[in-house]
Structure formats: C-alpha cells, structure tokens
Structure 1
C-alpha cells in the first residue's frame, strides 16, 4: 500500500514521494478521486486507531462521526472528499471526531487535491494536527474565566450593597447627631425662652382689654398669635429632643384613628379638601396614644397642605405580613426624589413658612415604636407608610 502511495506522489507535481513519511503531523491520502481508499501515516493511524498505511476510508468506516461546530458533516462535506472530488483547498478547518467508545478528539485539518502534470486530479491529501488537549484546556480556562467573572460580579454587587448600607447608616448617624444637637439646644434654651414669652403674652392679654387701647386690639391679637406660633415651634423642639419614657399600651390603632378622624375631617373641610378613613382588619399593638396622635396629625396636616382644593387625603390601615401598616396618602404634586432622601432631617422643609421639625418628630416617634417609615412619592401624590411590628414588648422604653 505504501508503494501505491509513493506511486501517486511520483505522479503528482506537488510533492515528493518521501514527504508523507517525513511529515510530523497526521497525513491521510486518498489514492484516487473516489476516496474509497485512503491510507494514513503512523501519526494519523494512531489518531484513528488503525494499522499504519492501512486501507481505511471514512466513507465505509462507521466507528466515528465527524463534526464541525457541533454539526455532523455529510460525506461530501469532508475536507479530503471535497479536495479529491471537487478540487477544493481547505485550510485550518477545526473538526471533532466522535468515536463510538465515547472518546472525542479534535484536530485542525487542511486538505488539498493531488494533480498530475496535466492538472488532472488524481487524489487528495489531508494533513492535521491534534489539538484535543489544547482545546479542552482552552475551554476549561474559558469556563474558569467565566466563573471568575461571575465571582467578581457577585463580589462587586456585595460590595456595592455593603457600600449602600453603610451610606444609609452614615445618613442615619448624621440625623441622630443632629437630633442630639437639637436635644441639647432644646434642653438648654426651651424653658428659658418660654418663661419670658409667657410673661409678655400675659401682659399683652391685659393691655388689649384696656378701653383706651381698643384701637390697637388687632395689633395685640397679632402679637399674641405670633407668640403662640413661637411657643408651638419650641414645643416641636422639645418633642424631637424628648428623652422621657414612651408609655406603651396594648390597643387597636383603628380605635385611636376613629376618635381622631373627626378632628382631621374638620381641618380638611376648613381648607376645602376631603378626607377618607379606610380601617382594615388589623391586630392590636403596643403604642403610646399621645405620640401616635401627634404623628398622625402631623402627617395629615402635611398631606392636606400639599394639595389643591378638592384634593383627597386617604388614611388606611392594613396588615402586611407581620406588620400593621398605617398609610397616609395625599393627592399633591409629590416630593422630588432628592428631597425624599432628606426627609427626617431637622430644619429641612420645602414650605415657605415651615420649620422643618414636624416630619423629624414623626420619624422620632416611629423610631421609639420600633416602626419604619416608607415614603412613596410621584406626580399623583405622596404616601407615608408606617410599619409597626405586632409585638415590641410591654412597659416603657
């Protein structure tokens, strides 16, 4: 058979009769254009598991399949057949040989036709280099690279979440520091400022009853009104700085809101607005009635002031998993996203005559009740959701 191969090469104008033996890679030679007889050098023979220079053709040897990019090739699509039958030259073609034993080998294949001096095709030659190990290593490396990339992505996500969490904690610490500063300020100045104000208010009340000062009654009324406003601001200060124990009592939030609703309704009607209370089925919880009353009134007042005439304020209660939720929703123009982050910060306000103390007081009350305040705001209005845990212990904290 080797002699026949050498004879073919002697007839070919391309190669010497020694070249097939000298090639270090696999060599397969079709000795005619039918590709019914294909012989192989020792390297190719070991690759296919056959005898050196033995007669073997893929056209009648069913022990393996040839695939390219996962697709099984037909006989006419094999490189050596294309070269022998059609004169195609194939270079750097990656093929996978899937043997019946479950073994898979990969090779980079090149093929060219063999022609005589007249240019007539008399056969074909295929050369190949096995790259099974290289391809597997490359695929493993790619898989490890992908795994490493996913690991890096996961770690980056964890770090970002940790950073966001730390940022929120720092924001809360900043708020607490400001609250502490207000507490010190309120404790030091609150009563000292109230005492002279009380004295002034008392004298103004006496003076505005004098008959000879009746022409100035409107002035006295305005001064008393402004003193009361200043006193209200001081009350808010003291409320934020409050350090006294919160007296918890087991009760139904709906009952408290039912008693409070007529007051909110009257305030709404006075502003040409509407108010609705939708109590849900909720469990009892531990709350301080006076503090929750203050919280609800503040949120309701803010909601009503944020709306135009005929706007609707809706107060609801409902259960959400293990939490009792109080919802206060208005139909105002909403709060800017950057301003939502600042809610709860003392002195921050978007109102022209606001003090920036009402919402911080609400956050403080919620914190003392181990509750969380969630704010949802958009062009259709703002909703404050206060989530109370069902059990926070009995007694005072």
Structure 2
C-alpha cells in the first residue's frame, strides 16, 4: 500500500517556526560535501584535547564513575572553577551555591535567558554577535533589540549606543567579549563607563566570556569584576575554546545565588546534569591545563598576526582582533554582499568562510574567518582569498 506523506496533524510552535536555521551550519554543510576545501568557517580549535584531560575522563570510566552527578555538577569541579575565576579574573563565587556546570556554554546562555526574561521583555544584544542569542531570546518569548557596532570603532560598543535603545521594557543586556565574530575586546575603562548606565537602569547583564582566555594584547577583564556589576551579572563560560574541548560539551554559569538557583531549576528538569566523564575531564583541564592553554594562545596570536596582515595585503580592510580566533574583514570594496562573497569564494577557490550578515545586520559587508586552523592551511587560504579578490578586479 502506498502512503502519501502530508503535513496533516503536524503542529509546531510559532516560536520555533519563526526562527531561521543557523547560517553557519549551512555553509559548513555545503563545504563538507566538496573536495579540497579549506574551512575557516567553524569556530573550533584545531588542537586535540590534551592527553592528560582525555586520560582523566578514561580513568573516571575505569573507576565506574558513570552515575548522575549532582545537578549543579561535581563539587570538585565547581570548587576548581571558583578558584580559577578568583585567581585569573578576580571574581569570587561560592561553589556550593553560585556555580552551575552546564552542557556547554550554549546551555548556559539558554538558562540565563529563560531564568530572567519574561514574554514582552526586551534585551539589548551587542552586534555582530554569536548566532544563537536572538533565537534563544525569541524562544523565551522576549524581544531581542540589536545594538550595532562598526569596524570604524573596532566593533566596541558605546554608552550612547546602548542608552539610545533603552525602553521601559528593557530588562537585560547581552555582552560578549572577546567577541564572536569580530574578535573585539572590551577593556576595563569601557566597562567602567558602561557600568554606571547599567546600574542606573537596573539591567541584568549576561556576560558570555567563553573566549576570555584568548586575549592577545591585554588581559581579559571580566564584567563581574567591575564595581557594582557582580550582583547583576550572570557570567557564562566553558572549556570548549581555551581548553580545546568542543566535543565534550562542558560549560558553566556563575552568578549571585538567586540567579544560580533559578538556572539550576531549569537545568535539573531539562538536562539533569552534564556528562559525568566530561566533568572529570574538565576538572583535570581546570587544575592542570595551563601549560597547554598557554601554548595554544601563543600559537593563535602568531596566526592572528599573519592572517590579518595577509588579508590586508590581499586588499581587504581588517581591524586587528584583540581576542577569540576570528578575523572579520570588510569585503565592501568588492561590491559583493557577504553572502555572495562567501558563496563564490567557496565555489571558485574552495575556501569556506561565514557571511557576516548571519551575525546580525551590522555584520553585512564582512566575512568571518576562523584562524583556528593550521598555519599551513592559513597560508593556502590567504593565497586563494587573494586570488579571488584579484579576479573580481578584472
């Protein structure tokens, strides 16, 4: 008997149907179906998780540590996170009540949004930004309000930009520095200037600091370390980028107790706990992973310097990213949209990048290039990019 596939009876929420699939994944999927591709598209370290971290996970399995952990994560890991945040970033948290281990920083972002925002609330989001922020806000029934930045100001956000978009519905702000996709950083002076406005308007601050360790020219300053902001900040971070642990899916949120309790409530119903063996790996990374991290940071800094210089020599304007592992060059001089540039570069030169518009309207006219690829691949990639840009002049 032949059956006809229809959509009768399929009932999807308006919130889900209203959001678009990730623009990053579309280009990644296209590139994965082609040969001889150099991918600068996905934000993932090319380093393998250090052996001692992998061994810690294996050892936990050998010891039979396969049961659920506490919802908030194993206490040893939370204690290690608290010590690390205090020592490295001068932010103090109680591991028993103010830290929750999550399934990657991505879950931490979702928990923060759902714990704080109600339908009808507005949240300011500094753009260009990570692609998941606005969709997750919409899924929570709230409204994302973009605050655009530009290359002319090194993609830094100003107090005036934020103040001009405040309404009586504004409840929170999303900050992400070092930034994905621009690599922009926010120094202490800028954060201190902004803090007065945030306190005045009683805003909750979601501070995505997943790239905090990858700061190349000056040390990262945590939002929570600024006077008056600790009590209103939810700090979101994890192990994926700085410890080369993307596939392990371990992150954390650190926040004042009432915020942490609210996020834990959601986490315990939706996830129960992060993977047990991954938590033991994260514990090893946090306590004995500094040497390997420093080596990766040194390598990324070298790659950044080479890649940005090469993009400029190819004829593309590009600011120097202070952190993360992305360059965000302007392609406006080519006359192509970011989508057209990225698609033609992929098809004609076999280099995968991400069109800037997927990171918000302010990203149009740019492409995101991850330099978390080997130096040999970066050298070939810039040759191909230069050849493509030159071909557009003919």
The TM-score normalised by the length of structure 2 is 0.21
Higher strand share: 1
Larger Rg: 1
The TM-score normalised by the length of structure 1 is 0.21
